[in-house]
Amino acid sequence: MRRPVYISGRGAVTGFGQGVRALCDGVFGGETALRPRDRTAAVQVNTAVCGEFPAGTFGAAAIPERDLPLRAALLATEEALDEAGRPDLADMGVVLATTKGDMSGICGRGAGLGSPIRLGALVSEALGFGLHPTALTCACASGVMGIASAARRISLGEHERLIVVAADAVNEFILRGFGGLGALDPDPCRPFDAARRGVSLGDGAGAVVLTAHESESIGVRVSGYGGANDACHVTGPDYHGRGVGQAARRAVAHAGIELGEVDVLQLHATGTRANDESEAIGLSDLWSSTAAGTPPAFGSKGHTGHTLGAAGVIESLLAVAALERGQVPGNRGLRESDCDPRLNVSGALRELPRARHALKVASGFGGVQGAMVFSR
Amino acid sequence: MTRAVSVLACGVMDRTGVYGSRGTSKTWAELEADPPGTGKTVFKVAGKTDATFRRIDFPARALVLACEAAGLLHVLTEAQRAETAICVETVLGSLTTDLDFQRSLGADVVQAGIFPYSLTSTCLGELALRYQLRGPTVSISVLEHRPGEALRESIRMLESGDAPFVVTGCADAAREAGAGCEAEMRALVAVLAPRGQGLADLEWPEEHAEAPFEPLLRLCR
């Protein structure tokens, strides 16, 4: 029998600064953390903006770029542990989710060599977690797959509590990589808008404490998860969105609910032409069997930028916040969608009374698709 | 109760050759190439062409050869593969690609085409694409002295019913040493299913198991 898994703590560091409240107030308030590039200004690439951590986020002293993922991960972890009531770390472990983790040794000096588990070990050692860390790297779906992995372990009875920590920071390697693929919008990204030209990137870290104990919960369960692979191209999505639809279908089935019971969708919504079109088609096709069609949907990369491996956790926190606040944030930058009109997106904040279930989807290079259901 | 699953097939590519539980046994001398192979290697191992093999990164090539040695297409039907998960661990990750891409940033032309391979999930995507594996895809990063997490996660996925089959294994294929690991050229894959079928049982690898993949290696030769 599967044990239920609850959320007991949350933490985040984004372009809005430190804290889940700053993130949620920014996104639900329609603000954006995409600003003219500062720390990365010297990188020659075809975009003017980035959702960098604001100056001063980590104190007055300048932090070397290579240390940003660790410093952000630690801040987010501390915040999540605070909300969780400071559980005993002796029998807790870190599930680290990132794209590259510690890039030292590849970008500049150091020994990280893009090994995610080394970042996980640093976080674990710095805060004194008793269990050995694990690390997942599933491209931009890392955060979602990390939550799924931790939930699976708790559900099977292996652990009482785990913390999922996700972090990535933008650097020259990443900016020029996406730039070389022609994937960057020169201006702040506009997911689903007809004039969209690509993605904007952002720094980010997120953390979520999962527990088997309802008494410790913030009132939200991880009720389902699912994954899939497009199996059609290693960087481009399946045009018909079959992978994202399949991951969503599996997560909803795992949660034991009907599609029509999902109250809000938190989208991957990168702002690239290919992602947004396929995501809209895949999810709309999935909901085509229901009378009401897709529930209200939102993405948040126009607010935070694409925080890569951290996005799945940060955006899951926003999905949970949508349930708590009873609101669906507007899709920043969206004026007129040219994607499948069946997908229920809007540029304006919408009310969401009596919401119980939120579905979060994420995609990554390698055709990776992940989906989570959060329930109140 | 013992936590265990069944092994349906397995294959390995290492510095000596390509071997699998369905009888594949080819040395690199017989294959007339160096690991992880050239555009002709898949044909020499499996009798079929692979038009893009020579363009994919080292870990992906190593994994493809291990999958061919395991006879993946013979072991699972198309319908089964559509539900099959991938869960592979690595110490070195995409180190060679990372260094090549970083070096290209200082050159006149950035090698944008290799950037996606700086993510290990991309090389797992090459498996998904070739074998139409449409279940969840998980790439795990491990320390050299703590192997086996992919096996544990795969067993969890089967126990949870998250996938009926899992292609699991490890892949470390890089020119360079790094992350506490010697320069390696090896991939091992195994097709796992719930207990009660297949070649052998695979028991839950304990946290401190030094060689958790050894039982699978023995099935390959």
Q: Give the nearest partner residue to B93 out of A114, A177, A368, using CB atoms.
A: A114
Q: Give the nearest partner residue to A231 out of B101, B132, B207, using CB atoms.
A: B132
Phi and psi at residue A347, in whole multiples of 5°? -85, -5
Q: Give the nearest partner residue to B98 out of A106, A231, A232, using CB atoms.
A: A106
* A vs B: CB pairs below 8 A: 167
What span, in angstroms and rounded, lies between the C-alpha atoms of A1 and B166? 21
Q: Tokens for A222, please give them.
A: 């991880």
pLDDT (tens digit per residue) in B140-196 = 999 989 999 999 999 999 999 999 999 999 999 988 776 666 778 999 999 999 998
Cβ-defined contact of A117 to B121 (cutoff 8 Å): no
Cβ-defined contact of B121 to A152 (cutoff 8 Å): no
pLDDT (tens digit per residue) in B137-156 = 999 999 989 999 999 999 99
Q: Looking at the domain A221-375, which fold is it?
A: Peroxisomal Thiolase; Chain A, domain 1 (3.40.47)
pLDDT (tens digit per residue) in B16-59 = 999 999 999 999 999 999 999 999 999 999 999 999 999 999 99
Cβ-defined contact of B160 to A152 (cutoff 8 Å): yes
What is the three-state SS of chain A? CCCCCEEEEEEEEECCEECHHHHHHHHHCCCCCCEECCCCCCCCCCCCEEECCCCCCCCCCCCCHHHHHHHHHHHHHHHHHHHCCCCCHHHCEEEEECCCCECCCCCCCCCCCCEHHHHHHHHHHHHCCCCCCEEECCHHHHHHHHHHHHHHHHHCCCCCEEEEEEEECCCHHHHHHHHHCCCECCCCCCCCECCCCCECEECEEEEEEEECCHHHCCCCEEEEEEEEECCCCCCCCCCCCHHHHHHHHHHHHHHCCCHHHCCEEECCCCCCHHHHHHHHHHHHHHHCCCCCCCCCEECCHHHHCECHHHHHHHHHHHHHHHHHHCEECCCCCCCCECCCCCCCECCCCEECCCCCEEEEEEEECCCEEEEEEEEC
- Whether A38 has a pLDDT exceeding 80, the answer reads yes
What span, in angstroms and rounded, lies between the C-alpha atoms of B98 and B92? 10
Note whether B7 and B197 are within 8 A (CB).
no
What span, in angstroms and rounded, lies between the C-alpha atoms of A178 and A40? 14
Name the residue in chain A with its Cα closest to that of B125. A366
Cβ-defined contact of A137 to B140 (cutoff 8 Å): yes
Name chain A contacts of B122, Cβ cutoff 8 Å: 139, 234-235, 365-366
- Taking residues B70-94, report their average pLDDT: 97
CATH architecture, domain A6-216: 3-Layer(aba) Sandwich (3.40)
Q: If contacts are CB pairs under 8 Å, which of residues 286-345 in chain A contact chain B?
A: none
What is chain B's alpha carbon radius of gyration, rounded to the nearest angstrom? 17
Name the residue in chain B with its Cα closest to that of A157. B156
pLDDT (tens digit per residue) in A195-206 = 999 999 999 999
Count CA atoms within 13 Å of residue B98 on its CB side. 27
Q: If contacts are CB pairs under 8 Å, which of residues 101-130 in chain A contact chain B?
A: 101, 105-107, 111, 113-118, 120-121
What span, in angstroms and rounded, lies between the C-alpha atoms of B172 and B59? 6
Rounded to whole angstroms, the maximal C-alpha distance in chain A is: 57
Q: Tokens for B206, please give them.
A: 């304990």
Instruction: Give the rounded percent of residues in chain A with a pLDDT score beyond 70.
Output: 100
Cβ-defined contact of B119 to A101 (cutoff 8 Å): no
- For residue A45, name the pLDDT band (cuts at 50, 70, 90): very high
pLDDT at B181: 65
Q: Looking at the domain B4-220, which fold is it?
A: Peroxisomal Thiolase; Chain A, domain 1 (3.40.47)
- For residue A41, name the pLDDT band (cuts at 50, 70, 90): very high
Name chain A contacts of B143, Cβ cutoff 8 Å: 117-118, 121
Cβ-defined contact of B126 to A234 (cutoff 8 Å): yes
Cβ-defined contact of B129 to A145 (cutoff 8 Å): no
Q: If contacts are CB pairs under 8 Å, which of residues 216-235 in chain A contact chain B?
A: 225-235
- Taking residues A129-144, report their average pLDDT: 97
Count CA atoms within 13 Å of residue A246 on its CB side. 23
For residue B111, the distance in angstroms to the closest alpha carbon of chain A comes to 8
- Its pTM stands at 0.97
pLDDT (tens digit per residue) in A98-118 = 999 888 888 888 888 889 999
What span, in angstroms and rounded, lies between the C-alpha atoms of A26 and A14? 10
- Whether B13 has a pLDDT exceeding 70, the answer reads yes
Name chain B contacts of A43, Cβ cutoff 8 Å: none
Q: How far apart are the first and last CA of chain B?
A: 30
User: Which DSSP state fits B4?
Assistant: E
pLDDT at A1: 64
pLDDT at A111: 81
- Taking residues A39-68, report their average pLDDT: 94
Identify which has the larger pLDDT, A292 or B176. Answer: A292
| Chain B interface mutation, best of A44, A154, A272, A365, highest count of B Cβ atoms under 10 Å | A365
Name chain A contacts of B101, Cβ cutoff 8 Å: 173, 177
Residue A54 CA to chain centroid, in angstroms?
Answer: 19
> Chain B within 8 Å of A274 (Cβ-Cβ)?
no
Cβ-defined contact of B128 to A139 (cutoff 8 Å): no
Cβ-defined contact of B139 to A137 (cutoff 8 Å): yes
Can you tell me the ipTM of this complex?
0.96
CATH 3.40.47.10 in chain A, residue ranges: 6-216, 221-375
Specify whether the backbone of B71 is left (phi greater than 0), alpha (psi in -120 to 50) or beta: left
Note whether B57 and B117 are within 8 A (CB).
yes
Q: Which residue has the tokens 């699912």?
A: A226
